[in-house]
Structure 1
């Protein structure tokens, strides 16, 4: 009959179709499970890499915190040390002022008791010497004061020499300016200018300057000559390392 088509059919073909459908249905969850496993493995791998990185970052942050703390302590310590040194300098200066004032009062009362010795003006009080570990180097400080009620500043300059012997020469005179390389002593050529009312310490603020003797030089004394504007020069000698 026209329009009719005969197609072969049977149990084998239907069975294969059902098997294919079943395999397809089973494959979907298997693929889904495999995908989940792959994602889990990737996540574990990434986590394994992140963990040591996080640990290193934590350690570095801890080190940074320690460094910040150390820096803060160092800055604080330097500030405290600087303040302590400044306080010590101020204390020394105040003590020197007190000592000079007492010496001035003592000189005044001595002058009252012995009128013949009364003389107002500059006093070369002390040239203090201290030895160091280097036998050729010494620390020194000069103290000046003034007796009298005049408040006008004293102006002048100091000429300081070290006298001794060297080799066959019995009398050798060395300029202190040539023996000293110290920023705290204001030498101008061979002289030290000064201006003060009641007392003067050279160097200032309780410091010590240093001098270095040449090899073979044997010091005997130090001579301090003070030239005073408007007055006669004043001179005094100090035995070497004498702490009078």
Structure 2
């Protein structure tokens, strides 16, 4: 028994309402897409841009300037401390030198006036010479002593002469040749000891090698003459001008 052939065409009933519903759905979907895109753009436009806060930036700048000022103040304080420390160390060194000089003076004074000290009249204890910078002048300090007359002052004058070499020959410069400005000599007045300062001028080309001191007290107080090597006088320590 043979089968009937399959139909080539399917007949469906036309539904205009369904077609309109499909079209309406497409239109609504398209409009919804446009609305969503517009809403997304508006939201992005309204959102703040993420970045540094201007107020915070200003605050950080102010804090940075404050820190820089503090660092500058600390550096300046450190510099002042270093200078002050250096000045203090220099002052301490000077005070130590002064104390050492005073101790030397005290020991010298104790030996001079102590009960066991040997009685002696006017004497030249030491001579110190030191050049004056940028000149041919020399500062001279002569230390005189006496403990023979403890209750009386020894007064008088002293003169200096310097022996040396000039133009290959020995030469002695008297007190009047040294340009000291006081032809009578340097005055002194003391009970126990005194350092008598003065200044002399040496001529150009003159090389000193020995210095001689002549001191004479008035009223029969005695006369003393003593010489010192020039290098010895340069090495001698100079203390303050103490008068007793």
TM-score, structure 1 as length reference: 0.55
Task: Confirm or deny: 8 A CA contact 1:160 1:175 kept in the other structure.
Answer: yes
Of the candidates 221, 224, 227, which is equivalent to residue 216 of structure 2? Answer: 227
Residue equivalent to 1:241: 231
1:44 is displaced (CA, Å) by 1.8
Equivalent residues of 1:163, 1:173 under 8 A apart = yes
The answer to whether the aligner puts 1:61 opposite 2:78 as a matched pair is no
- 2:122 aligned counterpart, secondary structure: strand
Structure 2 unaligned segments of length 5 or more: list them. Answer: 1-38, 237-244
User: Match for 1:44 among 39, 53, 56?
Assistant: 53
Give the structure with higher Rg (CA): 2
Q: How does 1:63-212 map to 2 (within 5 A)?
A: 63-102=72-111, 108-109=117-118, 120-128=120-128, 141-167=141-167, 170-173=170-173, 175=175, 189=182, 191-202=185-196
Task: Return the alpha-carbon distance in structure 1 between the equivalents of residues 142 and 115 of structure 2.
Answer: 20
Larger helix percent: 1
Q: Distance in 2 between matches of 1:212 and 1:76?
A: 41
1:233 and 1:107, CA in 2 relative to 1: closer, same or farther beyond 3 A? farther
Alignment CA distance shift 1:167-1:160 (3 Å): same
Distance 2:181 2:55 in 1: 76
Distance in 2 between residues matched to 1:75 and 1:102, nearest whole Å? 40
Question: In structure 2, what is the Cα distance between the partners aligned to 1:63 and 1:176?
Answer: 63
Distance of 1:139 and 1:106 partners within structure 2: 35
> What is the TM-score normalised by the length of structure 2?
0.55
Task: Tell me the matched-pair count.
Answer: 190
Report SS of the residue matched to 2:68: helix
Offset at residue 157 of structure 1 (A)? 3.1
Please tell me the root mean square deviation across aligned C-alpha atoms, in Å.
4.5
5+ long unaligned stretches in structure 1: 1-25, 112-119, 180-186, 204-208
Distance in 1 of aligned mates of 2:174 and 2:61 = 73
Is contact 2:150-2:192 (8 Å) kept?
no
User: Partner of 1:121: helix, strand, or coil?
Assistant: coil
Name the structure 1 match of 2:19: none
Deviation at residue 229 of structure 1 after TM alignment: 3.4
d(CA) in 2 for partners of 1:81, 1:138: 27
1:64 deviation in Å? 0.9
Offset of residue 165 of structure 1: 2.5
Q: Decide whether aligned partners of structure 1 residues 189 and 64 sit closer, same or farther in structure 2, where only a CA change above 3 A counts.
A: farther
